[in-house]
Amino acid sequence: MSNPGDQDATPIEPGPGLLAQLADHLAEGCKPRAQWRIGTEHEKFGFRTGDLTPPPYAPDGIEALLEAFAADRSLPWEPIADNGHLIGLKGLEAHEGASISLEPAGQFELSGAPLASLHQTAAEMHGHFEELHRAVDRSGTRLGFAPLGFHPTASRAQMPWMPKTRYAIMRRYMAEVGSLGLDMMQRTCTVQVNLDYGSEADMRRKLQVALALQPVATALFANSPFREGVPSGFMSTRAHIWTDTDNARSGMPAPFFKPGFGFERFVDWVLDVPMYFVSRDGALRDVAGASFRGWLAGREPRLAGVAPTLGDFDDHLTTVFTDVRLKRFLEMRGSDAGSPAMMLAQSALWVGLLYDDAALAAAHALVRRHDWTDYVSLRALVPREGLSARWGRGTVRDLAGEMVAIAADGLRARNLSGGGASGADEGRFLEPLRAIVAGAPNQAEHWLARYHGAWNGDASRIFAEARI
């Protein structure tokens, strides 16, 4: 959501032009190809290195770590507070466009800056890990971090809560709209890539291709086979959690696949997604379940006398949890957090598929072999079955192989060298995926083999091996 002071205060004008105003607001995200960028967001679980338990906000926990970042004058981070609590950091100077934020149970997230190449994304990611290690040392917290899709050992009751007003609102409301929403908030981590579009037509094609193929990404990047210390029965427990979190704002909505889908049709859909909050005077007002459409029409009593703004609409968009989220860019949201190599591979996969015209056309042709409802059905299968789920005459691993091949062509066409002696292009970041589609285990399969083998049934050993 908007940081304090950043919210767009432009009024939303009532009347017949309302949908067009909001659609035009989204269309301002259209950019010429030369300005297309890559933004990678990745989360990881903190753990105390002594007993592997989740760290609290305070004492000797997440707050101290954020304070260590803010106190390091060599790092250009500006503190973000919520009711007097340090809950994030805004990047300045060399980190302009990036931010550090907390998920509900203290999952530590870097929202990367918009960057021109995957080589820059890799440098940013590794630089963040180095800064994180230095901040841990300065804070004296003795914390480690592991990027995994679902917490492998802790129960929900053992997970802390961060002092963010937004999360207090969601915590109350989640219990009313799904059985697994609190697990989503406290026990999941994801990695997502944010990409640009050039026009409404370009947005539509990219969104429909990416949304249809998110279940394949879920299977490729599955990295959460444990729950409370034992195998959960799922390759991606995180993806299973999303099947009953809050389906009014999640999943693969049917309108997104309609031929005439565009900004205005999206606005018409999103106005009926129930609200969470409204930000006014530096504080959040709990209006969970309210209707944004009703507010615009003056029919929402909890918001009587409060005039809606474009900033309110932008904040509302952050409460949409579809597998691909449309804002003034597109967010790919279907993958578990994973190893640094796999998180970079996730960004590489979508950049390769969506940022080259020939690759996007090939990906679109691939998707159109099946009706969109087949991909919705696949979304329900892959959390448990992963790459072994049936697809056509083969499996999802076969479909993933076609995706990776198209992405490799797309990255080759971008022809962006990382410099250095090798001069390798961005395609090198697909190497982990090439191995998986050729038959190597994905991350979940690897961890299950370790659990049944060298770990002798002790899932807690994943922290040492997954630690960044």
Query: Model confidence over 387-420: pLDDT tens digits?
Result: 999 999 999 999 999 999 999 999 999 999 886 5
What mean pLDDT do residues 148-175 have?
98
The confidence score (pLDDT) of residue 452 equals 98
What mean pLDDT do residues 283-307 have?
96
Number of residues that this document lists for the chain: 468
The confidence score (pLDDT) of residue 1 equals 43
What is the rounded average pLDDT for all residues in the chain? 96
The confidence score (pLDDT) of residue 422 equals 56
pLDDT > 50? residue 85:
yes
- Dihedral angle over CA of 100, 101, 105, 106, nearest 10: 30
* β 250-251/321-322 pair status: parallel
The confidence score (pLDDT) of residue 419 equals 64
Spell out the alpha helix ranges (H) of 275-395: 292-296, 310-317, 340-354, 357-367, 372-385
Phi and psi for 279 in degrees, rounded to 5? -95, 125
Q: What is the DSSP letter of 93?
A: G
The 3-state DSSP class for residue 278 equals: strand
CA distance 50 to 378: 41
Residue linked to tokens 């290690």 = 133
Q: Residue 40's beta-bridge partner residues?
A: 193
Band (53; pLDDT cuts 50, 70, 90): very high
Q: Residue 284's beta-bridge partner residues?
A: 279
Band (423; pLDDT cuts 50, 70, 90): low
The 3-state DSSP class for residue 102 equals: strand
The confidence score (pLDDT) of residue 456 equals 98
The confidence score (pLDDT) of residue 282 equals 87
Residue 302 in contact with residue 292, Cβ under 8 Å?
no
* β 38-48/190-195 pair status: antiparallel
What mean pLDDT do residues 153-163 have?
98
What mean pLDDT do residues 33-54 have?
98
Q: What does the pLDDT look like over 237-271, one tens digit per residue?
A: 999 999 999 999 999 999 999 989 999 999 999 99
Q: What is the DSSP letter of 355?
A: S
What mean pLDDT do residues 10-36 have?
96
Helix (H) or strand (E) holding 259: none
Band (74; pLDDT cuts 50, 70, 90): confident
The 3-state DSSP class for residue 459 equals: helix
CATH architecture of the region 31-273+320-466:
2-Layer Sandwich (3.30)
- Verdict on whether the full-model pTM lies above 0.75: yes
Question: Measuring CA to CA, how many Å separate 71 from each of 27, 65, 79, 410?
Answer: 39, 10, 10, 42
Long-range CB pairs of 259-264 (<8 Å, 24+ gap) are 261/204, 261/207, 261/208, 262/23, 262/200, 262/203, 262/204, 263/22, 263/23, 263/24, 263/26, 263/27, 263/200, 263/203, 264/19, 264/20, 264/23
The confidence score (pLDDT) of residue 2 equals 42
Domain edges within the chain: 1-30+274-319, 31-273+320-466
